[in-house]
Structure 1
Amino acid sequence: MNIKQIKHFFKNDYHRLVLMTGGKTTPLDLTNKSRLGYYQNVFNVVSITIAEMENTPRHPYKKIIVERFINHNRLQDLEPLIGYRHSATCKKINEALVCFATELQRQQIKYNFYPLIEFE
């Protein structure tokens, strides 16, 4: 998994998806072949993926993704939220990104969402 590509997705593409779809999740409609329908489905699958991520004190992946990449909190603000020091927080961020990419692929296969969004 390329962590830089996943970070790029959250830095650029995720917020474009929010703007295009209005930030509202709807039921997946795989029969809608329009461009907006595709992007709505991408946003829905990403939202489902984030909701399904583990959020325990040992693996605070969901909290990391939401606070760091969606709410744009600084690293210094994230450290007390998850209860780790700086170096451990950086490692947990990378783990959360890999976990997100793995879970995203699993959700896409589960819902038969093609073409797959992949981070090589």
Structure 2
Amino acid sequence: MDLLPKLNEQKTYENVTNFFKRDLERIVLMSGSRMTDLASPNLNGAPGSSNFNNVEINLINGLDAQNIVKSVNDALHYGVDPVSKKILIGLYINHQRWVDIQPLIYREHTSFSVYRKHALISFAYSFEGWQVKNHCDKVIKLIETE
């Protein structure tokens, strides 16, 4: 008996990659933060709720941008293992090349793809959980099942 449905790994990789490349920066900007804020465990640049127009943000695709950004931050810093964290922040937040990240994770360049895929899957599961914990209005589902 399987507790969880079978994961469609390829589709999940694509969903997470597309989220980081296409959606995250827009959500971060809508929240009043900066992409560089995600490299730090604390969102120091995030404005307080008094400076934030929740009505406007909720109208845009029904997203609560601040809670989503907090969920991304929590998933990156508290939800994935240290190697995955370095890979995800390096590739998608700092826009580094994989050859620049490889020495930081002390892994062979030939195995980087395996570690990157693991990082993407770990982030997908963690991000979904953090969205629930952070009371996001609408949970963005990156996990695809068969």
Q: If the TM-score is normalised by the length of the shorter chain, which range does it land in?
A: 0.7 to 0.9
Q: 1:44 to 1:25 in 2, by over 3 A?
A: farther
Match of 2:19?
A: 9
Q: How does 1:32-47 map to 2 (within 5 A)?
A: 34-36=55-57, 38-47=64-73
Give the direction of change, closer, same or farther, for the CA distance of 1:76–1:107 in structure 2 (3 Å limit). Answer: same
Secondary structure of the residue aligned to 2:95 is coil
CA RMSD for the aligned pairs?
2.3
Runs of 4+ in 1 over 6 A off after TM superposition: none
Could you say which residue in structure 2 is the equivalent of 1:87? 110
Alpha-carbon distance in 2 for matches of 1:22, 1:113: 17
Query: Structure 1 unaligned runs (5+)?
Result: none
Cα displacement string for residues 50-78 of structure 1 (whole angstroms, at most 9, x for unaligned residues) = 111221xxxx0111111111101111111
Q: Give the corresponding residue for 1:110.
A: 133
Q: How many residues align?
A: 114
Q: Counterpart in 1 of 2:90? A: 67
Contact 1:25–1:44 (Cα < 8 Å) also in 2: no
The TM-score with structure 2 as length reference comes to 0.68
Give the TM-score, by structure 1 length: 0.81
Distance in 2 between residues matched to 1:17 and 1:96, nearest whole Å: 21
Between 64-73 and 106-115, the greater mean CA deviation after superposition: 106-115
- Equivalent residue in structure 1 for 2:124, among 83, 86, 101: 101
**Would you say 1:18 and 2:18 are equivalent positions?**
no
| Counterpart amino acid of residue 6 in structure 1 | V
Structure with bigger gyration radius? 2
What is the identity, as a one-letter code, of the residue corresponding to 2:55? S
Greater mean deviation of Cα atoms: 18-27 or 69-78: 18-27
* 1:27–1:105 CA distance, 2 compared to 1 (3 A): farther
